[in-house]
Chains A and B, each alone.
Chain A
Amino acid sequence: MKAPAVDYVRPRSLTEAVEFLAQAGSEARVIAGGQSLLAMMNLRVASPGLLIDIARLPELTAMADDDDAVTLGACVTHAAIEDGRVADPSRGLMPRVAASLGYRAIRTRGTIGGSLALSDPAAEWPAVLAALEGEVIVRGPGGRRALKCTEFTTGIFETQLSVAEIIEGVRVPKLAADARWGYLKLCRKTGEFASALAVAVADPGSGHSRVVSGAANGAPLVLEDTSRLVAEDHRDPEALRSAIAADLDRASDRHFDEFQRNLHTVVVLRAVRQVLA
């Protein structure tokens, strides 16, 4: 189908974009790559009154590479991350994830900020950035604030972003040289949304280890017991299985059926094995 009628503005600065959003309120939608929003509009699932196009704002496509972290502007595309056109704080994890995301024609336009703002439960970035201890930097009428990626996504298509706020960027701490990661996305066709995905990061230097399940019927699911075993370099498959089982048991609000439970268990085990290999 075709998108419904809509108004369109292209602000010249982030401040102006926030002003437009504050004026229009929930009638307006911010559009960056539009790779989900335009599909939803074409399907008439979304019918905003106003589109605020932020894709070309220089302050949102910028990147900062500091000693301990890389900050990516919200409108950095998946393709830019895939191609290594921006600094990589994650020792290869983020380019690997970007390359697994949708199709090239989607990745050239879709953005990391857009993925976070929508927080599709099956999306890659909310889970991966939670595993990397990233922070979402958000700009609103009241100024700027930073939110932990582990807390930013609160549910299915739900985030802490308030009506008049726009994601400015994401700050990702750098992994140490001896850090390791594992990533597995399970989907039946290359480029599809995941049926299950898992990210495992182990950074022995900082003591930070985290295993996160994505496509988990809600916000990314941090697997606490499993993360602890990874931090301890625990390799016994039975111990890992029971840790994953305990973590999934605790997530009773996700209502996994037996099939999903098995899928998540297998995917997490494989991602963890990549880390411990």
Chain B
Amino acid sequence: MTAIRLRLNGAAVAEDVPPRLSLADFLRERRNLTGTHLGCEHGVCGACTVLVDGELARSCLTLAVACDEREVETIEGFAGDPVMAALRRNFHQHHALQCGFCTPAMLITARDLILRRRAGSEREIRDGLAGNICRCTGYTNIVTAIAEAAKEIGKGAPNGQ
């Protein structure tokens, strides 16, 4: 067991974890944050994507021990986030999900694309989503929802950001 301390969705967390425990299993089984989903467990499907120190990360390919002194954000942590609010609204309006398994990671990835200004065209959005697999929608509505959210944010934010 190794002792770790991290910030999880803004709150300080301290636990003892076995080194082999993935961040995904830590979140789901130790913290009951089941919005982070596990599909392939080898970095291909993207369903487990979270933020570590503000950057996208596969929580299945990240050890919980390696998150000591890091900041982790999961889909449960974006309640007050304006970009996430715009994405949620547009995913709803454009029917950008069916079963919902890929949705939390799609939202986190889409938010990152918008904040890094990589959601300016359909091509850019599709490239940026290549690491997130959806087996229901055929992606069309997801791409539309992200494009619309990006437009809204572009209008709403200061300095045209």
16 pairs of residues in contact across A and B, judged by CB atoms under 8 Å? A3-B20, A4-B20, A8-B2, A10-B68, A31-B66, A34-B62, A38-B43, A42-B61, A51-B63, A102-B131, A103-B130, A104-B128, A105-B49, A106-B61, A109-B57, A190-B127
B76 at the interface (CB under 8 A from A): no
What is the number of residues of chain A that contact chain B, defined by CB distance less than 8 Å? 31
Give the interface SS of chain A, mostly helix, strand, loop or mixed: loop
Binding site for A on B (CB under 8 A): 2, 18-20, 22, 25, 41-43, 46, 49, 52, 55-58, 60-63, 65-66, 68, 109, 112, 126-128, 130-132
Shortest CB-to-CB span from B29 to chain A, Å, is 11
Shortest CB-to-CB span from B140 to chain A, Å, is 17
A191 at the interface (CB under 8 A from B): yes
Cross-chain contact A105 with B18 (CB below 8 angstroms): no
Given contacts A41-B20, A109-B61, 9 further A-B contacts (CB under 8 A): A2-B22, A10-B65, A42-B41, A104-B109, A105-B58, A108-B57, A109-B57, A189-B130, A191-B131
Contacts A105-B109, A189-B130, A190-B130 given; does A34 touch B18 at CB 8 Å: no
Of B25, B62, B109, most buried by chain A (CB within 10 Å of CB) is: B62
Q: Give the residues from 183 to 225 in chain A that come closer than 8 angstroms, CB to CB, to chain B.
A: 189-191
A133 at the interface (CB under 8 A from B): no
Q: In whole angstroms, how far apart are the Cα atoms of A102 and B71 in the complex? A: 23
Contacts A5-B18, A39-B42 given; does A103 touch B131 at CB 8 Å: yes
